[in-house]
Homo-oligomer: A and B are copies of this chain.
Amino acid sequence: MILELQWEALLSRAGCRITEPRRVVMRVLEQAQRPLTPQEILERGKLLHPNLGLVTVYRTLELFESLDLVCLVHREGGCHGYLLSAPGHRHVLMCDSCGRAVEFPGQDDLAQLIDRVQQHTGYAVGDHLLQLFGLCPECQEASGSSVP
For chain A, give the interface size range.
Answer: 35 or more
Chain B residues near A122 (CB-CB < 8 A): 136-137, 140
Chain B residues positioned under 8 Å from A95 (CB to CB): 123
Closest Cβ–Cβ distance, residue A51 to chain B (whole Å): 27
Question: Given the complex of chains A and B, what is the CA–CA distance between A120 and B131 in angstroms?
Answer: 16
Docked complex Cα distance between A87 and B147 (Å): 31
Nearest CB on B from A121, distance (A): 6
- Say whether B116 contacts A106, CB under 8 Å: yes
Give the docked Cα–Cα distance between A93 and B117 (Å). Answer: 9
Provide a sorted-by-A list of 9 A–B residue pairs whose CB atoms are within 8 angstroms. A96-B127, A106-B117, A109-B109, A113-B113, A123-B135, A125-B133, A128-B131, A130-B130, A130-B131
